[in-house]
Every structure is written in C-alpha cells, then in structure tokens.
C-alpha cells in the first residue's frame, strides 16, 4: 500500500524537531523565569466540554471521536436512533462523547474549575501542546498544529498585562526576530466606539468588520459596516478613530477628547496608560520591539473584555505571530464565578516559518553528536568500544559506526550528519595507545592522547 498521513498533518524530520525544540525551549525558559508553571491536559476532552464554546463555526470544526462498541447488537435500537439525530445535525453521546482538543483555553478553564481548591491563585501557567481542527488546510494552516499559551488567572491587576507584554518582548528578543510590533488596544475602547457610533449592541459586528482592516482596507470595512446596519454617522466616527496618528501618548490624548463623556471608553484609555506605565518600569533596555497602540485592532474572539494585543513582524510578509487579551469570567461556564484572566498565545508554526525564512536558527542544531569513531573492524573494535565508553563517561556525545564498511562511506556519513569530529583508531594508533582526531571544519588531523581529545572537543563546543 502507498503510505500516507491524514490531510493537514505533518511529519517532523530530525532537523525540524530540533528547530521546533529550540523555539519551545527558548519560550519555556522565559516562562519559567517569570514564575509560570507548566500544564498539560489530555488530547481528548468530553465533547460536552467543548461544544458551544467556539460558536457554530467552531462546533463544526471540532474533531469528534466515534464511540467504541457501536456494533453492539443489544444497543442497536439506541444507536440507530442516535444516528438519525446525527443525520439531522445534532450530536448525541450515544454515537460520540469525546473529541480532540480544539484549543488550550477551554481545557485550561475546565482544569481550573476542577482543581480550584488545590490551585494557589493568582495562577500562572504555560501550556504547549497540539490542537486539532477539521478546517480545510492551506499554507500555514493545518489540521494538527501546536499552540503555546501563557496565562494569569485570578488577578485583575494590570501588572499582569504588563508582565505578558514583557514576555512577548523578551521572547522575540531572544529569538532575534527583527521589526516586532506589539499592537495594543482595549475592548473597552471598542465598546466606547460602539456607543459613539450609536450602536452599543453591535460591538461584535463592529469588531468583526474592523478586524479585517489590514486585509480589505477601509473601503471594505466600510462596506461591511453598512451591511451590518451601522449608521452613516457611526461609520464616520469609526473612521475618524482609526485615522488617529502619532505616538502612543498623542493617540490616547486625542482619543480621550473624542470619547468625552463615554465612561467605558475612558476606562479603556486609563487601563492602557496604566499598563504602559508598568511596562516601562519592567522592561529591559535592550529589547528592540515596539508597543504600538492601534485602535483598529479588534481580534475576533468574543470572550475578550479588556486589553487585547497582537504581534507582527515587518521583516516577513505574514499574519500575526501571537495574540491575546484579558477575559473576565472565563470559568463561569464551568461554575466558577468571578475569576478574571489575561493571557497571550504564540503562533509556533508561523514563528518557525519566520525564523526559517530569515535564517535565524542557530547553526549548531544539525547534530548533537560531537565525534564519530571510525570502525576498522577486527582487533580494533574492542579498543574503539572502550574509547567510546570513555568519551561518553566524560559527557562527550559520541557514536561508533556499527559496521566495518569502507572508509569513505563512514566519512561521508559523518559529513552528512554534520558531526564536527572524526576519531581514527586503527592498527597504528592502537599500537601507540593514541588516537587520530580529525576536525571536519578545518580538515586538520592530529595524533593525540584521549585526554587531549576530550580537551579539544570540549573547547570546540
């Protein structure tokens, strides 16, 4: 049979895994350094946990798992009735009661609700796991992909927002991605905008349209707003606000004037000011990324209630590589009221593409093996094995070519694997109780003792 993998999934070859691990490890170090704790949840959740949390479109994209035992003859009537329900577009636990994780946020909320008595709040957690969506695959869009979330739950302080901004800046600084913009806005400002536009109940309509500004331009947004029944006067107000220019202080001041008397808008402005104030005192001097206030930033997700952020780089033509925001009452759905959270997410796959395109991955990711011992066979094999054992005990990643095949084949193997050193120990070396070490980068080869080998290789790392 012809081997294949399901649509929208990928194999990760060794070099790709190393590159991905480099990203994961970089982020993990930053999270841990800021006191965040790791969390993992199951690949599958009960379907009832996920359904109704992501909207109608989301429900359709959840991968559902067929129950086992559907061929049980005794339950046949029940199962057939269940299938009729499925055919009419409704789910039933008689046919499917589990589903693959769709994102990391809802399982996180479920986790908090289940373990609220054991958790020390405020709870800071990070989570890096795959999620699955039955979407149609496109470039940079997969049915299995990794999310990386970092949240603080159980505190309403804007210090948390500032800390997360620091995490973004620190992460992209460490990954050396140039021209980073962290765009900042507040759902409260958008709510004020809806009031200003005489459409306080159409916040969602306005945000969905506004979210497309980058993609379809103002004319496109205007058309959408018209279609959604926003008045001409309202559209004019929205346009005016998206056109505010200047530095962050200027933007906030101008907005404050326009939002005169609109309480929720003013609160949004104050929150951003306070967050930026905290950020300025927390940030490191060498971070290059910019924080840019952008009143057109909307983000589609409806559960955001306060500050929202999105990260882009001007260095590569690509969508956002991260996003997040404040959400009040995320756990309310699971019966835990009054817990506010704020979180950010990293788009791992897109970050991978950016680093690949800009060639920002470290050079030494190809192999961890430092030295290959050439196999000369016969009497030399036991000597080679004792050297192998010695080097490993000294903490030097080493390999012994397992077959005594032709010399150039073994050399080609080392070259292809990107192994920096080759150790030759044949009859001559064994007679002198020495070894020949060849450096593949310089081509230089020297007869030396094992101690010197350890020193030379250690100095090279």
Partner RNA sequence: GAGAUAUUAGCUCAGUUGGUUAGAGCGUCGGAUUGUGGUUCCGAAGGUCGUGGGUUCGACCCCCAUAUGUCUCCCCA
245 binds RNA (CB under 7 A): no
Among 319, 338, 382, 395, binds RNA (CB under 7 A): 319
Would you count residue 98 as binding RNA (CB under 7 A)? no
User: Alpha carbon 51 to chain centroid distance?
Assistant: 23
Give the β-pairing of 435-439 and 445-448: antiparallel
The one among 11, 57, 245, 285 contacting RNA by CB under 7 A = 57
For residues 265 and 347, which CB has a smaller minimum distance to RNA in the complex? Answer: 347
141 binds RNA (CB under 7 A): yes
Using the rule CB under 7 A, is 14 a contact of RNA? no
The verdict on 438 binding RNA (CB under 7 A) reads yes
Nearest distance from C-beta of residue 437 to RNA, angstroms: 10
Segment lying near RNA (by CB under 7 A), choices 3-11, 18-26, 178-186, 277-285: 3-11
Contact residue for RNA among 44, 213, 315, 411 (CB under 7 A) = 411
Q: Which stretch binds RNA (CB under 7 A): 87-95, 115-123, 388-396, 423-431?
A: 423-431
* Closest approach of RNA to the CB of residue 343, in Å: 12
Taking the complex as a whole, the smallest distance from the CB of residue 443 to RNA amounts, in Å, to 3
The residue within the footprint of RNA, chosen from 349, 367, 370, 372 (CB under 7 A), is 349
* Residue of the chain from 127, 169, 320, 340 that contacts RNA (CB under 7 A): 320
Q: Which of 408, 432, 459, 461 binds RNA (CB under 7 A)?
A: 408
CB of 138 to RNA, least distance (A): 4
Asked if 233 is part of the footprint of RNA (rule: CB under 7 A), the reply reads no
Residues from 264 through 303 that contact RNA (CB under 7 A): 300-301
To RNA, the closest distance from the beta carbon of 322 in angstroms equals 7
Sign of the torsion angle spanned by Cα atoms 419, 424, 425, 427: positive
Is 151 within 8 Å of 192 (Cβ atoms)? no
Angle between helices 263-282 and 248-258 (to 10 degrees): 170
Residue 208 is a binding residue for RNA (CB under 7 A): yes
Q: Is 446 in the site for RNA (CB under 7 A)?
A: no
For RNA, the closer of residues 260 and 441 by Cβ is 441
Q: Considering the rule CB under 7 A, would residue 107 count as an interface residue with RNA? A: no
Among 63, 303, 334, 440, binds RNA (CB under 7 A): 440
Residues that bind RNA (CB under 7 A): 2, 4, 6-8, 55, 57-58, 61, 103, 133, 135-143, 145, 147, 208, 215, 300-301, 319-323, 345, 347, 349-350, 376, 406-409, 411-412, 415-416, 424, 426-429, 436, 438, 440-441, 443, 445
């Amino acid at each position: 049979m012809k081997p294949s993998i399901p649509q929208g999934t990928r194999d990760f070859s060794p070099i790709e895994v190393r590159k991905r691990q480099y990203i994961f490890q970089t982020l993990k170090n930053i999270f841990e350094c800021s006191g965040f704790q790791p969390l993992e949840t199951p690949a599958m959740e009960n379907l009832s946990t996920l359904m109704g949390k992501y909207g109608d479109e989301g429900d359709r994209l959840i991968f559902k798992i067929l129950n086992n035992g559907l061929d049980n003859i005794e339950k046949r009537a029940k199962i057939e009735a269940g299938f009729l329900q499925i055919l009419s577009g409704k789910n039933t636990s008689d046919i499917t009661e589990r589903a693959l994780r769709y994102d990391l946020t809802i399982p996180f909320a479920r986790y908090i609700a289940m373990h609220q008595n054991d958790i020390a709040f405020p709870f800071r957690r990070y989570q890096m796991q795959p999620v699955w969506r039955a979407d149609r695959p496109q470039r940079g869009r997969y049915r299995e992909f990794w999310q990386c979330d970092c949240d603080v739950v159980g505190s309403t302080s804007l210090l948390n927002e500032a800390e997360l901004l620091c995490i973004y800046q620190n992460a992209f600084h460490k990954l050396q991605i140039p021209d980073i913009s962290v765009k900042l806005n507040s759902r409260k400002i958008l709510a004020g905008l809806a009031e200003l536009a005489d459409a306080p109940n159409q916040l969602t309509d306005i945000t969905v349209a506004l979210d497309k500004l980058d993609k379809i331009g103002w004319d496109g947004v205007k058309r959408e707003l018209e279609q959604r029944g926003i008045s001409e006067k309202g559209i004019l107000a929205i346009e005016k606000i998206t056109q505010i220019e200047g530095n962050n202080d200027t933007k906030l001041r101008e907005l404050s004037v326009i939002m005169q008397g609109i309480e929720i808008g003013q609160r949004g402005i104050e929150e951003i000011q306070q967050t930026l104030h905290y950020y300025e005192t927390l940030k490191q001097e060498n971070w290059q990324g910019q924080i840019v206030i952008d009143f057109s930033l909307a983000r589609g997700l409806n559960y955001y209630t306060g500050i929202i952020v999105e990260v882009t780089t001007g260095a590569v033509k690509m969508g956002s590589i991260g996003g997040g925001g404040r959400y009040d009452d995320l756990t309310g759905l699971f019966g835990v009221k009054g817990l506010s959270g704020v979180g950010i997410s990293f788009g791992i796959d897109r970050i991978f593409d950016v680093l690949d395109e800009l060639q920002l991955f470290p050079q030494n990711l190809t192999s961890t093996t430092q030295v290959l011992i050439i196999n000369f066979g016969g009497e030399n094999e036991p000597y080679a094995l004792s050297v192998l054992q010695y080097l490993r005990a000294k903490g030097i990643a080493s390999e012994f070519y397992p077959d005594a095949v032709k010399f150039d084949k073994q050399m080609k193997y080392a070259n292809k694997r990107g192994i920096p050193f080759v150790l030759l120990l044949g009859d001559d070396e064994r007679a002198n109780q020495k070894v020949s070490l060849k450096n593949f980068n310089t081509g230089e080869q020297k007869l030396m003792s094992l101690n010197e080998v350890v020193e030379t290789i250690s100095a090279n790392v």
